[in-house]
Amino acid sequence: MNVLNDEEKKTVEGKTTREDRARCLIDTVMKKGERASSVMVDYLTEKPPALWPTLGLTPTSALIKLGRIRSKLVALLLDQDVINLLRYLREMNVLNDEEKKTVEGKTTREDRARCLIDTVMKKGERASSVMVDYLTEKPPALWPTLGLTPTSALIKLGRIGSKLVYTLLDHDVINLLRYLREMNVLNDEEKKTVEGKTTREDRARCLIYSVLGKGERESSLMVDYLNARQPELCLTLGLTPTSARIKLERIGSELVYMLSYNDFINLLHYLREMNVLNDEEKDTVEGKMTTEDRARCLIDTVMEKGEGASSRMVDYLTERHPDLYSALGLTPATAWIRFGRSQESFSRKESPGLMFQSLPLVMHEGDSELEKQRHIPPVTLRSGRYIAAVRC
């Protein structure tokens, strides 16, 4: 994430005790200002799960992130970036046709970028989060430079949870409940607790709260399931699937010890055949002394190459090793993430820097209207590229 340079990293590592290393690291980051501190805070709110509630840490909202990098973003976004982002935000119902035309009517690239950012920020946290998620995945060299961090499944689910309560039908809750039990997100007792609620809304609410309380991995499974089975609903609510990079980051340390030698060799050959790795990178991985080191090197190398490369690896694991991905809570990459893979250069490296956010379930304006409707009308898609297609 380029918060520290090599010299600063070595200075921290050179301290003799754990306390001195931690103190030196914190002081170094604080001296670098708001952007560096925000990156560290976002990391801490996700990685040590029992730490941040104890300390009272809260993640940086997407609205704050977008506001912090606004002026830099205006200067860095190319014309094609603005066009693609504008089209995506319209299809995600962040912008309406009138707002899209207003942005397009500006005379210069900078004015279009500035108008787009300001329009999204005025719409609040949900709209800002959709834009931040796009920026962390689509322009591959942009987000590490700006210090942007993607939104976790936990915050996505919390953001739309109250609306989801009134839009999930009975059979949706039943199917989702069965899936989450099969994936060991819920145990039998928790499943019975949800089923024991008297109304559909109470069952849906209980289910969402139960999953949110279990953390990022469980929320990610639910988010990806909804994107696969309810794509039109997710498009309406602005719920986007978990990126493959986040998935690899989450299960990387466990995957190192679960891949057999033959599994690893087959995966390595596949990634070379798909041009995810070049010959030099393949030789570097093969040159490591132990299977664990080779697996760790491979995972890190793929993650550094960005979303397309990570998605290839996730898809391979979910298709060839169903028992493994089930145990790790790994779900296939969806079509929304896959879109644009053919245009992405796997040789271009990105900083992984995967941090996440966590927010509680909140009520949103318009929820009472949703309760009356009990179902959101389907959205007519302009293209099929965001339809999720998970092979279960």
pLDDT 10s digits, 38-64: 778 766 765 555 555 566 665 567 777
**What residues does each domain of the chain span?**
6-56, 63-146, 153-240+358-372, 244-330
Superfamily of chain region 153-240+358-372: Death Domain, Fas (1.10.533.10)
Give pLDDT tens digits for 299-324. 888 877 776 788 788 878 877 776 66
How many angstroms separate the CA atoms of 187 and 185, rounded? 7
Q: Which of 385, 302, 316, 313 is nearest to 346 (CA)?
A: 302
Q: Provide the residue type at 226 as one letter.
A: L
Give pLDDT tens digits for 263-279. 888 889 999 998 989 99
pLDDT at 354 over 50: no
Assign a CATH topology to domain 63-146.
Death Domain, Fas (1.10.533)
- 244-330 sits in which CATH class? mainly alpha
Same fold, 63-146 and 153-240+358-372: yes
**pLDDT given for residue 343 in this prediction:** 35
Q: Which of 30, 20, 52, 132 is nearest to 85 (CA)?
A: 132
Q: What confidence category does residue 366 fall into, taking pLDDT thresholds of 50, 70 and 90? A: very low
pTM listed for this prediction: 0.53
